Amino acid sequence: MMRISTLAAAALLITATLATTACGQSQGAAQGSGVSPDSLLDRANRGRMKGSDSARVTIVELSDFQCPYCRDFAATTWKQVDSAYVRTGRARVLYINLPLTSHREAFQAAEAAMCAGVQGKFWPMHDRLFAAQGEWSGKADAGERFDSYAQALELNMADWRDCTANDRTAPLIVGDAMQAAEARINGTPTFILNSPNGQRALTGAVPFEEFAREMDALLAAPAAGSAPAPAPQTAPAQP
């Protein structure tokens, strides 16, 4: 588990990112279907969220597409979390990019996913990048591989290539990394589970059983500040 000070800093990261997303939603609605850089970033920002806005728990995942532990989590625990909590409306997920400098293709992979998110396909690209990590990690032709994944997802290739070639989503990725640094989070994967009932943090390729235990504790706890249940009334004693 993380220290309380780190959790407090991580809470600021969550609040700032969710506020940016909410702001992006209102701006995107005002701009309609325009293709300005601002609306592109709005769509990319919204695209990396999955689940119901009314979910009681927000899972913030700080991850690196080239990280082997992140790949292991994506291949096992993530699928179960998605099925048990996200698709049932009990949790939503926010993906935060933390491409480590030791991973040469990680930033480019993040751009591939975020640019797919502009077209509403962040999560399919997320799944493909992790499933095929062995194909592109450390390879000189990683960019060509990402291009082939985008084609397989039937993206508008002219738009996706423009987005990746011109680093259109780089401000979001750099912003993610800076917020993670401010929260003193430097390892991947890291998970912040945030709810009105409190906050939990997990690190590493956590098995589903451990992840579910923390999730269920947050979902079962009464909301912070809620009034206690009234004591049951007893009938007065008969004389």
Could you count the other beta carbons within 10 Å of the beta carbon of residue 233?
Answer: 6
CA distance linking residue 84 with residue 215, whole number of Å: 10
pLDDT at residue 1 in the model: 42
Is 2 strand, coil or helix? Answer: coil
How is residue 90 written in tokens? Answer: 């009990």
pLDDT at residue 221 in the model: 75
CA distance linking residue 68 with residue 119, whole number of Å: 27
The answer to pTM > 0.75 is yes
Phi/psi at 94 (5° precision): -120, 120
pLDDT at residue 35 in the model: 42
Report, as ranges of residue numbers, the positions in the chain whose pLDDT lies below 50: 1-5, 8, 12, 15-16, 19-35, 226-239
Task: Give a three-class secondary structure readout of 64-130.
Answer: CCCCHHHHHHHHCHHHHHHHHHHCCCCEEEEEEECCCCCCCCHHHHHHHHHHHHHCCCHHHHHHHHH
How is residue 131 written in tokens? Answer: 């499933």
DSSP string over 210-221: HHHHHHHHHHHS
Q: Which CATH superfamily is domain 4-220 in?
A: Glutaredoxin (3.40.30.10)
